[in-house]
Structure 1
Amino acid sequence: MATLVMSHFDMPKDKTVKAKTIDFFDKLSKDDALPGLHIEPIKGSADKRVRTGRVDQGYRAVMFKLTEGDAVSYVLLGVYEHDKGNRVAERAILKRNPINGVTEVRMTEAVREALRADAHEAPPAAETATPAESVVPAAAPAAEAAAVPTPPTEPMPEATAVVELSASSSPVLEAHGCTREDLLGLGIDGELADAALRTRDENELLEVADGAQVRWQGLALLDLGTGVPVEDVRVSFGLTEPVDASGTEDEQLLRGLKHPAAQVSFAWIEDDEDLRRAIESGDFAAWRLFLHPVQRQYVDRNYNGPAKLTGGAGTGKTVVLLHRAQRLAAENPDARILLTTYTRNLADALRRDLQRLEPDLRIAENPGDKGVHVAGIDALALEVDKRAGAGIREAAAVALGTGASDVSRRPDSRAWDAAIAAAGADLPAELRTSSFFEAEYAMVVLPLRITERAGYLRVPRRGRGTALNRAQRAQVWAVIDQYRRSAAAGGTMDYEEVAQVAAVHLELRAEQSEPAPFDHVLVDEAQDLTPSRWQLLRALVSPGPNDLFIAEDNHQRIYGQKLVLSHYGIASRGRSRRLTLNYRTTQQVLGWAMQVLDGADFEDLDGLPEEHGEYRSVRSGPTTLLLESTTSADEYDKAAELLNGWLADEDVRPETVAVLVRTKHVRDRVVGALAERGVNIRAVDTETIKPGAAVAMTMHRAKGTEFARVLLMDVREGAVPANVSRSATSGADREDALLRERSLLYVAATRARDVLAVSWSGTRSSLLN
């Protein structure tokens, strides 16, 4: 038996070759002496450990053979056409970093130039493989980036793609107090260190880091370039102590492969299914196998209480959640683990990717079962209420002041309007809106469990933007009371009430010493949850080690109001960490999306300011296309030409191309107009994305997805941002509504992995300024 260690694997796209590669490595892992494999050394190779193997007559596998006693391991470099494979094998070297002992692959510049020439490529800024994806590709793994067709008209001048790190003319690293000795002390190559020290802005530093032969060294430079102290980089990459240098050279190399910094580039293949997924799955395989050392820390770390992980779009928060769920389940097969999020679509994506990550993982069908239960928070609340039995009446009495027991029926969408019409005639016009009452109910009445007028008259309304005097409070309560009376008469309960009743029921059970349903709760997209849902999450797991692990990014808050977790019994301060390295989008897409956020203030769930200038990408690509039109018809014509050009690229799967718009009405109109112009496109609502056609969806629906190429359409003033004056009752409410609109455009832009285009007719959105 041979152990296989996967690197960032060079693999032909041909499906037949992939199938043969799987068969080859399967046989290699079982018996490397099989004559049909033709495992052979290369005469005159730079590294005596290098071997080639025959995948078929035209393709060769290149790898390193390491021995430890009777055990044999193969470090897999890639599968190449015969002559190219020989060139790689002749000059590839597996060696230990002389400073820290981390195992690294080296290849001469001549061989790398030859490989680029064989691929008919111009020398790119990056000379290493594309970094592992660290996002959930809920649609499908994205295709390779390719050249973008010339837009129908000359695009408008492009905004700067990235924010400069320093206004000074000093070299970037020098401005952060980083010296050559610091870089060499980490184990960064001398030539790479010198090149990095000469860079004077972020673009130059990104180019140098992207060209690093060894992935961890490039990532370390990116950290240092954004002001991360040298010692923090040393800790995050596990470089505080060198790798044990005892034993044979092969044994030292094997130990170095297990180092946290090496695991950015190498992963141990544990079974045949691991191998098959790694070869077949493309980008997801990279995401599944290779974690940044910082991400690995948050997967493996234990916390004595709630912990929170923040980070911008594409920084890998969801990846950490999935790997952490897998790790907790592996450590205790009897553990009851919940993985949850706000919407059903996102929950479905989490379930799919968790099963792709670990097909043999025990999936719990019901709350409280052993294994990992994956569900949207509202579906979970409903299930808790249904299982409450007769206890639902007591919980409803505490939460709502009624003995309601039917949780299966929702009120009419106009229920608040009806209550306002019946009992709110004396209210000022700006308060007679369903949006005000929905927010007041969710943020004040339900979480504080107010069931009578007297309680509402004296309760603090923390965080609400609209001040109310005593008379207005009385009038507001009259409408709320009317809403509840109508719901009781009709036997309905809205989702906020369902969550609050579930939380109360579990709290009452806990008072009777009944165990909580889960041992660990992991929450994705936490910024969109409301107080009642947070109270439910707190009640679903008893306080203790690794009880709540929360992933959030308030730059992506597109639902709900601002809140602070500590107000609802969840104290994560001191156990909050941030991811800043974006793996999904190119630096051009990220830079454009970040500028949408400029000028606005954001706070995290601990109530602390949340900056976005520190986020950076490890990938580069074309600049964002800005397509201006005078009429809608002109915009459709330009969009159709652009999309048909994208779809004609044989390397682009149609379903990895997306058109995103603000509303369903616009989506349907755009699909019809583009279809008339020959674009193969379909609208997507709640269903799963299917292969074979480009997709059109709302910006809200796109949350949690990823596409190779994205076109944002109808980004004009009056459409994006949407008109918030009717739904906002105060200046603070309007400001927060506009903040959510800004976040929505940011979310939509960061769905693009490789290429982003933005179009509008008439006056472009003020958010683009």
Structure 2
Amino acid sequence: MAIVVLAANTRSMPKLDGSVKDKIFDFFAKVRADDTAPGLHIEPLKGAVDARVRTGRVDLNYRAIMFRVDDKFGDATYIYFGTWKHDDANKLAVKSTLRVNPVNGVLEGIVGQLDGKADRKKRSVVPDPGGVLARLAAQPVLGYLTRAGYVLEQLTDRLGLDAELATEVLAAPDQEGVFAVAQTTEVAWQQNAILDLAVGRSINEIRETLGFTEQPLDTALDEDAQILAALAHPATRMQFTLVDDNDELRRVIEEGDFKAWRTFLHPNQRKFVEKHQRGAFRLSGGAGTGKTVVALHRARHLAQQNPDARIVLTTYNKTLAKTLLDDLRALDPTLLIADNPGDRGIYVAGIDRLAAAHLRRNKDQDEAFAAVFGPGTGVRNRKNLKPERDWTEAIAATKTTLDPRLAHASFLNAEYLSVVLGNQVTTLQEYLKVPRAGRGVRLSRPQRAAVWQLIEQFRKSGRTAGHLTFPEILAVAAADLRWRAESTGNSVADHVIVDEAQDLHATHWALLRALVAEGPNDLFIAEDSHQRIYGQPVVLGRLGINIRGGRSSKLTLNYRTTAQNLHFAIGILEGAQYRDLEEGEESTAGYTSARLGPAPRLVQCPSSIDELQEIANQLTTWTSTDGISPGDIAVLTLGVQERGLVVRALGERGVPAEVLDEELPTGDRVQVLTMHRSKGMEFRCVILAGVDRDHVPSQQRLRGVPEEELGEAQQRERSLLYVAASRARDQLVVTWSGQLTDLVNK
């Protein structure tokens, strides 16, 4: 039975309709079963540059280009590069090559060009003393990277770039020029190496990231054996994947672009997917760097390592959790999805639902209620769980002497959540002593006593009504999990993976810590502090989660957003200082994109009416002129009121649009959603609407925030705009009337 390996589609491969994709699947299913079947017409080509190249008959009009590589027993592996019309496939195949780079051991496959011109990307990387390398080295070009200290021999002899490509990289006049050269190669490792050079990474850092070794080739092996060995190289697996069964084969072929996030991982991503961690681990990175992708693959990897493992995959809310579940099923439909936390398989849910699910399965909660609220405070007859109650009732019912700026719902809620519930405080004496690290407002002893009076009234009202807020549910669930683990010695989960962790608060972290015992591969945390748009910052070390001592790393290569859009989004963060989950400085240094595109378009409008018309015009251009599907387009607004206004205005102007709230996109209309709702999503084209100085940042959300906490609240508004701007894959348009917000750098 032949083995099939798929290579990521080249840019030159034409788009194929569904009927052709079905035939490709049938063709390779037959190849896997019996590659000698005469109907396949797998044939070598006369005059081919590489004797391994073959074409096979998909149907009378289309042929597949692939390379046949035989192992020592004569069994065949077919490495598939794409399908073209019959004549084009043969013309391309004779000029296509497959080889192992002698410098770094990575497998490289190059499909030829139809114009007959020499393909720069095919050039060999064979040392030639006294030849081109010597001549180029003698006449260095002082480009951007040359001025930074890089020299030709580093790029050729240490990385494995060919001399001509390396010279083009060194000659690029600026960083954007280096990015542009990176886009000219279809070899994945080359593109990534050049992007890393552009952001100043050292040769050794790049080699380590891409998994290069000092002795990449086993010279005792013949060429075919070297190619088969190279398939296991981390950088090879960025572009080539072994297909084990026909179901996987169909999924990959039907995607057209192979849904690269599912199949091909950067070596740096794969490292975090597969690495055995000695304890909790934090993976950070900017928007679009693939943190969620790593989290999904990590869940799959752990499940494959131990089919009996109990794995929890969770995130900030139910909408993001639904997306995670859909993507996990798309990644591998064979994975066992657990119905409840504690069951064998992968349980996927938003973290609030996770807490509620645990409490539903464990009715005896007296110990947990006592730990959170004090002895004798169980709520045995509580009604349906409600959203958070309004603190104004507690303030009105208490004759407080507290400063009005502190007797405010936003301050009290944050204090209750972070300090009281986060530390299981049940008495005034405990509250007077508990540290309040991270809280912007300092409280005197009398002020603490006054705050506690309001908290007691808040709790009393809840007990009387039989209600619990969501943070209280989390705290009770965490306490119950701890009590049961201490009583039985067993935890609910073997592994916990959390995505969008920057938006979790203290009781969330208490629950996560209680779900799984401390030990190898216990907690995997994916987060980006620049995207924190909810709540207060936390320090994990103070919450019993140790990620110090090499238990953190960072992704910097953006796969979603073009370099132009990324530059715009990062500019929004300038002027603010961010801290990570261990109070270290969080920087955007080194962030880069693997893609290029048009610069964001900034459109100032004379009035709000004109702005709505401009939005309608842009949407019409994208859908009617550019042929972009409406479902690939989003208009992001600051709030719900603005969202409704945009949908109505677009309808009046004949542009089909719909509100996107908790449900997933339908795909046949332009999606209009709030910036908050856009977290975790991406669209081909995005319009940021109403980004004027009067509304961004939101004065409504900042109103009433204590002065000491105002800076933190303003930073959340900045992060919100960053999140919104980084949703666009290809094109970003920003509209406003009046004056542009100060958060945007023109």
- Relative to the length of structure 2, the TM-score reads 0.93
CA distance in 2, matches of 1:342, 1:75: 41
CA-to-partner distance for each residue in 1:682-730, whole Å, 9 max, x for gaps? 1111012112111111111111111111111111122221115755543
* Compared CA separation, residues 406 and 235, structure 1 to 2 (3 A): farther
How far is 1:113 from its partner?
6.3
SS of 2:35's equivalent in the other structure is coil
Given that 1:706 and 1:753 are in contact with CA atoms closer than 8 Å, whether structure 2 keeps it comes out as yes
Given that 2:697 and 2:718 are in contact with CA atoms closer than 8 Å, whether structure 1 keeps it comes out as yes
How far is 1:20 from its partner?
1.8
* Compared CA separation, residues 662 and 114, structure 1 to 2 (3 A): farther
How far is 1:458 from its partner?
2.7
How far is 1:407 from its partner?
6.3
Name the structure 2 match of 1:638: 614
Are 1:568 and 2:540 matched, yes or no? no
Name the structure 2 match of 1:101: 105
Where structure 1 has 5 or more consecutive residues not aligned to the other structure, the ranges are 116-125, 129-168
Name the structure 2 match of 1:251: 225
Trace 1:116-265 onto structure 2 (pairs within 5 A). Answer: 171-184=143-156, 185-240=158-213, 241-265=215-239
Name the structure 2 match of 1:51: 54
CA-to-partner distance for each residue in 1:96-130, whole Å, 9 max, x for gaps? 21223322113556758699xxxxxxxxxx989xx
* Compared CA separation, residues 462 and 283, structure 1 to 2 (3 A): farther
Match for 2:369 among 384, 387, 396? 396
Name the structure 1 match of 2:509: 534
Name the structure 2 match of 1:459: 434
Are 1:497 and 2:472 matched, yes or no? yes
* Compared CA separation, residues 386 and 612, structure 1 to 2 (3 A): same
CA distance in 2, matches of 1:407, 1:522: 31
CA-to-partner distance for each residue in 1:584-621, whole Å, 9 max, x for gaps? 01011111111111111111111100101321001001
Name the structure 2 match of 1:149: none
Given that 1:79 and 1:85 are in contact with CA atoms closer than 8 Å, whether structure 2 keeps it comes out as yes
CA distance in 1, matches of 2:605, 2:713: 28
Given that 2:337 and 2:345 are in contact with CA atoms closer than 8 Å, whether structure 1 keeps it comes out as yes
* Compared CA separation, residues 568 and 406, structure 1 to 2 (3 A): farther
CA distance in 2, matches of 1:405, 1:199: 70
Q: Higher mean Cα deviation, 185-194 or 335-344?
A: 185-194
CA-to-partner distance for each residue in 1:397-437, whole Å, 9 max, x for gaps? 11122222456634565531111111154222211221111
Amino acid corresponding to residue 207 of structure 2 in structure 1: R
Match for 1:376 among 350, 357, 365? 350
Amino acid corresponding to residue 737 of structure 1 in structure 2: A
Amino acid corresponding to residue 415 of structure 2 in structure 1: E
Match for 1:524 among 499, 520, 525? 499
- Relative to the length of structure 1, the TM-score reads 0.90
Given that 2:573 and 2:719 are in contact with CA atoms closer than 8 Å, whether structure 1 keeps it comes out as yes
CA distance in 2, matches of 1:726, 1:449: 29
Given that 1:444 and 1:461 are in contact with CA atoms closer than 8 Å, whether structure 2 keeps it comes out as yes
Given that 2:387 and 2:470 are in contact with CA atoms closer than 8 Å, whether structure 1 keeps it comes out as no
Amino acid corresponding to residue 316 of structure 2 in structure 1: Y
SS of 1:297's equivalent in the other structure is helix
Name the structure 2 match of 1:616: 592
CA distance in 1, matches of 2:490, 2:688: 48
* Compared CA separation, residues 375 and 243, structure 1 to 2 (3 A): farther
SS of 1:555's equivalent in the other structure is helix
Name the structure 1 match of 2:647: 671
CA distance in 2, matches of 1:500, 1:206: 48
CA distance in 1, matches of 2:718, 2:726: 13
CA distance in 1, matches of 2:389, 2:480: 28
Name the structure 2 match of 1:506: 481
Are 1:71 and 2:75 matched, yes or no? yes
Where structure 2 has 5 or more consecutive residues not aligned to the other structure, the ranges are 123-140
Q: Higher mean Cα deviation, 31-40 or 574-583?
A: 31-40
Q: Higher mean Cα deviation, 252-261 or 489-498?
A: 252-261
Amino acid corresponding to residue 506 of structure 1 in structure 2: L
Name the structure 2 match of 1:652: 628
How far is 1:37 from its partner?
1.9
How far is 1:12 from its partner?
2.3
Q: Higher mean Cα deviation, 664-673 or 243-252?
A: 243-252
Amino acid corresponding to residue 41 of structure 2 in structure 1: H
* Compared CA separation, residues 454 and 236, structure 1 to 2 (3 A): same
Number of residue equivalences: 718
How far is 1:189 from its partner?
1.4
Are 1:418 and 2:393 matched, yes or no? yes
Given that 1:655 and 1:693 are in contact with CA atoms closer than 8 Å, whether structure 2 keeps it comes out as yes
Are 1:488 and 2:460 matched, yes or no? no
Name the structure 2 match of 1:166: none
Amino acid corresponding to residue 657 of structure 1 in structure 2: I
How far is 1:512 from its partner?
1.6
How far is 1:265 from its partner?
1.2
* Compared CA separation, residues 411 and 99, structure 1 to 2 (3 A): closer
CA distance in 2, matches of 1:113, 1:605: 53
Name the structure 1 match of 2:689: 713
Name the structure 2 match of 1:365: 339
How far is 1:299 from its partner?
0.7
* Compared CA separation, residues 542 and 531, structure 1 to 2 (3 A): same
CA distance in 2, matches of 1:417, 1:41: 79
* Compared CA separation, residues 422 and 677, structure 1 to 2 (3 A): same
Match for 1:87 among 87, 91, 100? 91
Given that 1:558 and 1:741 are in contact with CA atoms closer than 8 Å, whether structure 2 keeps it comes out as yes
How far is 1:56 from its partner?
2.1
Match for 1:13 among 4, 12, 16? 16
CA distance in 1, matches of 2:557, 2:116: 26
CA distance in 2, matches of 1:288, 1:246: 35
Name the structure 2 match of 1:30: 33
SS of 2:496's equivalent in the other structure is strand
CA-to-partner distance for each residue in 1:503-560, whole Å, 9 max, x for gaps? 1111112222330000111110000000111011011000110001100000100111
SS of 1:374's equivalent in the other structure is strand
Are 1:468 and 2:448 matched, yes or no? no
Name the structure 2 match of 1:740: 716
Amino acid corresponding to residue 21 of structure 1 in structure 2: I
Given that 2:8 and 2:258 are in contact with CA atoms closer than 8 Å, whether structure 1 keeps it comes out as no
Match for 1:432 among 407, 413, 433? 407
* Compared CA separation, residues 406 and 600, structure 1 to 2 (3 A): farther
How far is 1:650 from its partner?
6.8
Match for 1:606 among 582, 602, 618? 582
Name the structure 2 match of 1:41: 44
Given that 2:310 and 2:343 are in contact with CA atoms closer than 8 Å, whether structure 1 keeps it comes out as yes
Q: Higher mean Cα deviation, 379-388 or 402-411?
A: 402-411
How far is 1:214 from its partner?
2.1
